[in-house]
Structure 1
Amino acid sequence: MPTFHLRCNKSLHSLFKYRTIHMNSSLYRSLNSPSTPAFYKLQHSNIEDYYYSALHRCKTIKQLLGIHAQVNKIGVNQRISVAIKLVNKYAEYRNVENARLVFDRMSGNNACQVFEKMSEHNILLWNAMLAGYASHGLSEETITLYYQMQIEGMSPDEFTFSIVLKVCASPLVLQEGKKIHSHIVKKMGLESGVVVATGLVDMYVKCGSIEDAQQVFDKMPERNVVSWTAMLRGYVQNGQGIEALKMFNQMQLGEEIPNSFTTVNVLAACGQLGYLHQGKWIHAYVIRSGFESDCFIGPALINMYANCNSIFDGCQMFDKISKRDVFSWTSIIGACAQNGYAHEALANFKDMQLQSINPNSVTLLSVIMACTNIGNLTYGRCVHGYVLRRGFQADESVGNSVLTMYAKCHTIEVASTLFQKMARRNVVSWNAMITGYTQIGYHNDALTIFHQMVELENMKPDQVTVVSALSSCSHLGALQKGKWIHEYIIRSGFAIDVFIGAALIDMYAKCGSIDIAHQVFQKMCKKNVVVWSALIAGYGMHGHGHSALALFAEMKQLGTKPNHATFISILSACSHAGLVEEGWYCFHSMQQDYCIAPMMKHYACMVDLLGRAGHLDEAQDFIKRMPLEPDSSIWGALLAACKIHSNIVLGQHVAGHLLNLNPEDPGYYVLLSNIYAAAGKWENVERVRSLMKDSGLKKTPGCSVIEVKNNIHSFLTGDRSHPQSKKIYATLQSLAGQMEDLGYVPDTNVVLHDVDEEMKEHLLLYHSEKLAIAFGLISTCAGASIQIRKNLRVCSDCHTATKFISRIVRREIIVRDANRFHHFKDGLCSCGDYW
């Protein structure tokens, strides 16, 4: 035990002056000299009571240390009540080291030689030390002391178990909690006690082990309102709102009167389920029971109404709260932010500040969410400044929320700077950066961050991380990186649930491996509508319209109800395969069989289906009968059909609609120009191009990319910037000669420039997809398939040439253009020349 070199200062003497037990000055002087006879004449109870009272009254750690020094001097430190109070006080001032020193001295053998060791008193000392550790979250120290207690022959009581069970209320120490549960059952026989049993229920609930909690609860011969509330809260926290409501009914039938905490959890269950009617019934119960004035009830009611999409009722509830604290303000701000009323959330935040109510971290999370949802970066920066001034940046959730705001508001540079400066990064921080890069199209950067997270920082990703990374692979067509992520998922023990499964199916489909996508689908135990829709969309992309329809029929037969996205996928599949009758059937079934009102995307799919099939008049008539005002997606699909079928008159008419709706999109000008060029109307071509130039618009250049050995290589038409361009051009020239021998004739009609035929053939030979294919041939081993991705629709000449090349080199060549996949093999294409 260390010596405390402290004197009682004036404040300490003042504290002694107001002691509970009267002691005269001579007695006080004698206390400073424990060797005097006066000390031994004092009754021990008076000394204990005096110092116990002094410890109870002390307000600072300095006073506590001073009293402890006096206790050491006169030997009262060996009195059990004083030692317990010292332990409690040191724990209160977050000084568990000194608390443990007091405990060790008192629980040692030397102390027993001076005073009789009474087990009923000593258990209080052990419990005090256990509680001190537990109050500061020191679970390991608490559990170790608990086992030491048993080794030394001390018998735990109900309070002991309630302390230890609380520190076991975490999934990380659940196994220790189960051992203690076993000890309670086998040795102590205390499971039937309501305090210990409630502690067990609470522990299992907080560990997410609701089945174990239910077993303990069912075995309880006696239950109180705390027991019922703990079990009910467990159901709510584990997403089992219906079970929580059933338990609330059972509780009332058992004549156990719920308290305000019970009601808060029942309201949370109603909100979780979206049960507005039941929520209103609970609201009426709150009024009848007199709970409405409880400070937690108001926010709980607001949250319930907000989660039931009844924000108006939530606002009315807020208006009825006479005394609004930070919790009620936080509830209404969060309710508005989560229900799409971001402007109202920000207005409430301003009002809160005008009322001089300081926000907490949860308030700021909702405010930042509101700024993110409406992209209000100006207000967001102000909130960020407030966070910095008030020191909230140390809160991980707030820091991650600010990071997410900048990333989603397309200020990725600021987000990256904040990310680099973060002292601690958790999985949410990494997710914010990865999803931020993904959303703005910086997919290579997203995958770089993912690789850094997993390989360099050894941080385990979660479901959101994996899905975002797979999405970036899908957009890049980066099959090898996607396979690496899939392998990582398996190695790391991730469960391939419906979200990861759908992302894997989408990735493999968009990277050209529809067979592997089907394998992933087949291995999934649980499939929801998102998973089915992902594979249907994949089949559609690859032109397998009949396979998509068969899968669609199987999905319905097995009882999975299609949604809006499913019908977009199946209509798109019909469009790419030219299945007009089947497309009409699906379109009518959507409305008649499933009561799904078509959205603009469904109408656009039908226009595309009819237009590609050459039914231009029918497509026009369909547009006229639409209940919605056609947007650019509708007219764009029809204009593309006019290009395919060289309908100049209709193309001009449609282009007029498009240029009025979206005059800043260069794609529509290019389509119209191409229609004129294909018809040889060069004056009209020049007029359209001049109009583009005057508007400051530029044509998007054709670009093709290929992934070789995990590296992405990009090519533009006529590109000579690649280090191996000489070999690439030599390979193409060699292939051109072999293709001509087999009967290939360049389709110069696709060259949209007024130049001679020889120049047209020269331009055709060096289109971006041909350059990418040539690079793939010289960079991969013989027989290996080649996969490229192009940002525009593949032209008819490249389509024909690639068929010839696949025959010559005897390889499969997979091309993913802006619309779909083409699988070239042995001189044929999977699309059947329909795209």
Structure 2
Amino acid sequence: MLKLHGDAKNLDAGRAVHLQMITSGYHRDRYLCNLLIQMYGRCRSVHDAIAVFHTVSRKNVFTWTILIVAHTHNGLFFEAVELFREMDVHGVQSDEFTFSAILEACSNLGLAFLSLGKTIHSRIHQQGLKLTSNPTVICSTAMIDAYAQNGHIEQAAEIFERMQLQVLDPDLIAWTAMMTAYNQLGHAREALLLFRKMDLQGLEPDRFAFVAAIDACSSIPSLEQGTVLHSRLLASSVECDGVVGNALLNFYAKAGLVHESRSLFSSMKVKNVVTWSAIVAAYAQNGHHEPAVELFREMLLDGVAPNKVTFVSLLFSCSHAGLIKDLARGRKIHAEILKSTAAAGDVVVATALVNMYGRCGSVSDAKTVFDEMQHRNITSWNAMLVTYSLNQRSLEALRFFRTMLLEGEGVKPDAITFVSAADACGMMGDLSRAVEIHSRISQSWPSNQTDVVLGSALIKMYGNCRRLADAAQVLDQMPRTNVISWTSMILACEQNEDNEAAIRVYRAMQLHGHKPDPVTMVTVIKAAANLHDLKRGIEFHAQAAAFGFATSTVVGNALVTLYGTSGDLQAAENVFKELLQQSVEDVVTWNSMLSAWNQNGLPNQALGTFQRMLHHGRHPDKTTFVNILNACAGDPSKLLQGVKIHALAAACGLDSDIDVANTLLHMYSRCGNLSRARKVFHALTQKNVVSWSAMAAACAHNGDADGALQAFRGMLHGGIQPNAVTFISILSGCSHTGLMDEAVSYLYAMSSDHNLKPTVQHYACLLDLLARAGKFHRAEELATHLPNPVAWNSLLGACLVHGDAETAARAADTAAKLQPLDCAPYVSLSNAMSTGKNLKTKLNYFQ
């Protein structure tokens, strides 16, 4: 009866039997007391088990062992170890079952108790407990688990091999334990090899062995071996229950086969929280974020309470979907987490919340979650650090990094910590801080031990600080390099506008035996595009195809940009069409083609491509809107289309994005609608230098010089430093309204007040102003100090307006000498001659 009630976990019935034993006088019998302790342990009433234990006058090994097992099965591992030590003090010799139970406790208590586990293993051999019985096999299996739990795979494998050398081979449980150990410690291939060896031994796998093998296929991942295992499982007598089904769900999800995951899910009769969490994770991990959220709703309607895994998968979807509504959705999930006893306060879930808020751009929410965490680990600290870096809060990221070093509750920075800190330094371009971070990394990892992740981060950091020599030195000193480290160096060169160096590093990488990956090809193709080098671009296109990247979307997008930049629109369109044949879903592909049309002055083709994109059901992103609004800019006849696109941007929630708003401002300005431009400008809650410069340009372009100057003053009042583009707008406004003194004053202020060096475009505005005022001699004198065809062509254009053929002749002559292949000066001169003034000068020029 006691065994029956213990198996059924029926505590009330067990207590009734105990009462009958007391009234009948059997409560002193040691054998029955041992069964009582076992029953109470199985019914999760450890305090009752302890009470019975103390009534036993002569406790034997079974009495002690049963109480130890009661503690381990109820998660009281430390108390189990204390009982074991007390048992030793009382001189009771342990047997295989005692050792098995205490090894389970040691494996769950972590590294601090691993030495005790090793001592127990030695005692097993000292007591002569040879592997001749199943209990000893169980004991060794527990030892395998203990070593695996604490990361010692070599010792676990050694015990397993020793078992194989004994008279009795390991049983199925031992084989499964060893496979599980390999899986837990990232040795999935070894787990599969062990499964094959088990087959050769003639052992028929049970559901747990199948699960271990399927988990290994998920980790590799190996679609072929996983599907073979699934087929074999279906042909076997093993029932495809929840445990096996969940493992298969996870396997198909990791393999990217979401449809198969859904079919399997639908066929499962019993769906528990693990099953639901697995299917939600399957969709989330493979980028199907909306279906993941819908499945979560179905799960709640089915009455299944979500667990930690469910919430982490959902938060991942909110973090990566890229939709404007994801922050609101994330907050709703956060509210559900607070209601859940299984997830509230969990460090993994809280860290996922920090990541979600960070990726959705809400740094304040992320910091609130982080501050409220009762327990933090290195992953939590890193999540907050990455949040700052991801949201361009570099200074705060570095301050947080220092806080972590000082107040990190014993948390030691890892590679991810230093990578995030290096990224923050790079974004700031702060060399002194970069050197400090490098020094800290060197203290933790000497240069001969720096791994490729840290080395690549340092290369990127120095590249962002415009220190290519330092980046190259890091690459040279790395003990081991791979395609990532070399690509980081290529990218550093390309970002620093040393595109020739980028191509040289690319070739050196191949000489060192590293095959480029798609990211490498994208970077080197971009370098060729920056150089407008169509020949080398075609070479890299051929190499990308040879390396098997012909179907890569990211490489294809880079090629569209290359051909668009180089003016080969036929080639750009060919690549674009090939990409659409594979998939119409990638918005970057559409954006690349839109940009190609714009760069080559073909706005109608850009608008046509945009309509096709909408027809295919693609959602425009901010880059799409920037491209298509620029296609409308400059042509008043496209104002209505621009207004419609503005409405679409508002419907997508992107009209308030700073880049889109600045482009809207530019579009309305170039289409001659200054009032709409002003409305967009005033609606901006945050204005950057581009916003103010665009407003100044809008006023200047539409003849409102006072408005341009007012925008400039408002910009300074707001604490925003103007840039070179701002001054072109201001000088252009002065030029159109004849504000000579103001123009000279602003040109002087560029260098004296704002540390900006005037370019030929700025001087061209002043030239135009002088010419408009009829001061051709001063304009020509200024142009003499600017040996650039732009300046002389500007002077020539002014002469065209005012009919000064003599100055026009000299300007055309100088411009032609500076740019011999450009016929524009001669065309301008011909226009100047048609005014009929100063005929003698014209005839002399032609002679």
TM-score (norm: length of structure 2): 0.66
| Aligned counterpart for 1:475 among listed residues 523, 530, 536 | 530
The answer as to 2:337 corresponding to 1:286 is yes
Cα distance in 2, alignment partners of residues 533 and 55 from structure 1: 60
Matching residue's letter, 1:134: N
| Aligned counterpart for 1:194 among listed residues 239, 242, 253 | 242
Matching residue's letter, 2:388: C
- Equivalence map 1:447-526=2 (5 Å): 447-454=503-510, 456-462=512-518, 464-494=519-549, 496=551, 499-525=554-580, 526=584
The answer as to 2:764 corresponding to 1:671 is yes
Cα shift at 1:221: 1.9
Map Cα deviations across residues 315-355 of structure 1 (whole Å, 9 max, x no partner): 33333334544444333333233223333333333333332
- Equivalence map 1:393-472=2 (5 Å): 394=450, 396-454=452-510, 456-462=512-518, 464-472=519-527
Map Cα deviations across residues 133-180 of structure 1 (whole Å, 9 max, x no partner): 434433333222212222332111222122222221135423212211
Cα distance in 2, alignment partners of residues 391 and 127 from structure 1: 37
Cα distance in 1, alignment partners of residues 330 and 602 from structure 2: 49
Cα distance in 2, alignment partners of residues 311 and 345 from structure 1: 11
Matching residue's letter, 2:540: I
Match of 2:351 in 1: 299
| Aligned counterpart for 2:418 among listed residues 361, 364, 367 | 364
Partner SS for 2:136: helix
Map Cα deviations across residues 219-246 of structure 1 (whole Å, 9 max, x no partner): 2222332232232223222223332322
Map Cα deviations across residues 687-727 of structure 1 (whole Å, 9 max, x no partner): 5777xxxxxxx86799xxxxxxxxxxxxxxxxxxxxxxxxx
C-alpha contact (below 8 Å) 2:493/2:502 kept by paired residues = yes
C-alpha contact (below 8 Å) 2:728/2:765 kept by paired residues = no
Matching residue's letter, 2:260: D
List alignment gaps of at least 5 residues for structure 2: 1-81, 107-113, 673-697, 713-721, 791-805, 830-847
The answer as to 2:397 corresponding to 1:342 is no
Partner SS for 2:435: helix
Q: Percent identity?
A: 23
Larger RCO (CA within 8 A; separation ≥ 6): 1
Cα distance in 2, alignment partners of residues 651 and 133 from structure 1: 80
Match of 2:728 in 1: 636
Q: How many residues align?
A: 665
- Classify 1:448/1:748 alpha carbon distance in 2 versus 1 (closer, same or farther; 3 Å): farther
Map Cα deviations across residues 603-629 of structure 1 (whole Å, 9 max, x no partner): 66787899xxxxx99934266667993
Root mean square deviation of aligned Cα: 4.8
Cα distance in 1, alignment partners of residues 512 and 828 from structure 2: 46
Cα shift at 1:376: 3.1
The answer as to 2:303 corresponding to 1:249 is no
- Equivalence map 1:80-229=2 (5 Å): 80-83=134-137, 85-86=139-140, 89=143, 92=148, 103=160, 106-107=163-164, 111=167, 122-191=171-240, 193-229=241-277
Match of 1:59 in 2: 115
- Which range moves more in the overlay, 548-557 or 497-506? 548-557
- Classify 1:570/1:70 alpha carbon distance in 2 versus 1 (closer, same or farther; 3 Å): closer
Matching residue's letter, 2:334: H
- Which range moves more in the overlay, 159-168 or 308-317? 308-317
Cα shift at 1:476: 0.5
Matching residue's letter, 1:381: V
Map Cα deviations across residues 495-514 of structure 1 (whole Å, 9 max, x no partner): 65664333222211222322
Map Cα deviations across residues 225-281 of structure 1 (whole Å, 9 max, x no partner): 223223222322222333232232333333333233433333333444453334333
Partner SS for 1:137: coil
Match of 2:596 in 1: 538
List alignment gaps of at least 5 residues for structure 1: 1-14, 29-45, 611-615, 691-697, 703-746, 771-793, 802-835
C-alpha contact (below 8 Å) 1:84/1:128 kept by paired residues = no
Matching residue's letter, 1:213: S
C-alpha contact (below 8 Å) 2:708/2:733 kept by paired residues = no
- Classify 1:267/1:537 alpha carbon distance in 2 versus 1 (closer, same or farther; 3 Å): closer
- Classify 1:320/1:641 alpha carbon distance in 2 versus 1 (closer, same or farther; 3 Å): closer
TM-score (norm: length of structure 1): 0.67
| Aligned counterpart for 2:441 among listed residues 387, 407, 410 | 387
Match of 1:333 in 2: 385
Matching residue's letter, 2:725: S
- Which range moves more in the overlay, 547-556 or 498-507? 547-556
Match of 1:7 in 2: none
The answer as to 2:368 corresponding to 1:316 is yes
C-alpha contact (below 8 Å) 1:473/1:479 kept by paired residues = yes
Match of 1:621 in 2: 703
Cα distance in 1, alignment partners of residues 378 and 183 from structure 2: 28
- Classify 1:650/1:473 alpha carbon distance in 2 versus 1 (closer, same or farther; 3 Å): farther
C-alpha contact (below 8 Å) 1:454/1:460 kept by paired residues = yes
Partner SS for 2:218: coil
Cα distance in 2, alignment partners of residues 648 and 320 from structure 1: 60
C-alpha contact (below 8 Å) 2:561/2:593 kept by paired residues = yes
Match of 1:809 in 2: none
Map Cα deviations across residues 636-677 of structure 1 (whole Å, 9 max, x no partner): 37978999xxx9968987676455446512324552586579
Match of 2:675 in 1: none
- Equivalence map 1:787-798=2 (5 Å): 796-797=824-825
Cα shift at 1:195: 1.7
C-alpha contact (below 8 Å) 1:171/1:207 kept by paired residues = no
Match of 1:721 in 2: none
Matching residue's letter, 2:237: M
Partner SS for 1:423: coil
Cα distance in 1, alignment partners of residues 601 and 379 from structure 2: 55
Matching residue's letter, 1:202: N
- Classify 1:323/1:406 alpha carbon distance in 2 versus 1 (closer, same or farther; 3 Å): same
Match of 1:275 in 2: 326
- Classify 1:490/1:609 alpha carbon distance in 2 versus 1 (closer, same or farther; 3 Å): farther
Match of 1:727 in 2: none
Cα distance in 1, alignment partners of residues 490 and 425 from structure 2: 20
- Classify 1:541/1:188 alpha carbon distance in 2 versus 1 (closer, same or farther; 3 Å): same
C-alpha contact (below 8 Å) 1:78/1:106 kept by paired residues = no
| Aligned counterpart for 1:264 among listed residues 309, 312, 318 | 312
Cα shift at 1:493: 3.1
Cα shift at 1:449: 2.1
Cα shift at 1:417: 1.2
Matching residue's letter, 2:395: H
C-alpha contact (below 8 Å) 1:640/1:671 kept by paired residues = no
- Which range moves more in the overlay, 264-273 or 511-520? 264-273
Partner SS for 1:664: coil
C-alpha contact (below 8 Å) 1:83/1:103 kept by paired residues = no
C-alpha contact (below 8 Å) 2:451/2:478 kept by paired residues = no
C-alpha contact (below 8 Å) 1:750/1:797 kept by paired residues = no
Cα distance in 2, alignment partners of residues 122 and 593 from structure 1: 66
Cα shift at 1:482: 0.7
